[in-house]
Amino acid sequence: MSYPNEKSEEEWRAILTPEQFRVIRQKGTEAPGTGTYNKHYPSSGTYACLACSAPLYTASQKFDSRCGWPAYFESIPGAVKRFEDTSLGMLRTEIVCAGCGGHLGHVFKGEGFGGAKDERHCVNSVSLKFSPDDEAGAKEAEKK
């Protein structure tokens, strides 16, 4: 599959840390409860792809699922692509950045968390970077 922000593996290695490369390019997973954005709940702002800066989620789409990773009800329309993942011997839905193909995490349906689609986008913090909407939002995010 082709992506607008495509790079060679060597180019990705040059701009990502080893942990970022492991998760984003090699479909790894960060340990639960360890990510920067797991318990990060600003009132406004945008979570973007760490690798290519494409906007993925808004602060209003985020919720506390208590799963150990940042969780979102839905993504910004068109921001993520979905693929079947059978790597653990079960069927899951992998989500990747539509801008660069970087691994974000997985989507789980029907868990009763709410949202229009009853989905939980379970995303690795290491795949994200947060930008507050304004200076007040930046100060609020720093406190949390």
**CB-facing half-sphere around the CA of 60: CA atoms within 13 A:** 3
Q: Is 97 part of the annotated catalytic residue set?
A: no
In angstroms, the CA 100 to CA 80 distance is 10
Q: Which two tokens stand for residue 127?
A: 């795949």
Q: What is the largest CA-CA distance in the chain?
A: 46
Element (H, E) at 122: strand 119-123
Nearest to 127 by CA among 48, 67, 38: 48
Element (H, E) at 82: strand 80-85
Annotated catalytic residue within 49, 97, 100, 122: 122
Nearest to 57 by CA among 70, 67, 68, 66: 70
Known catalytic residues? 122
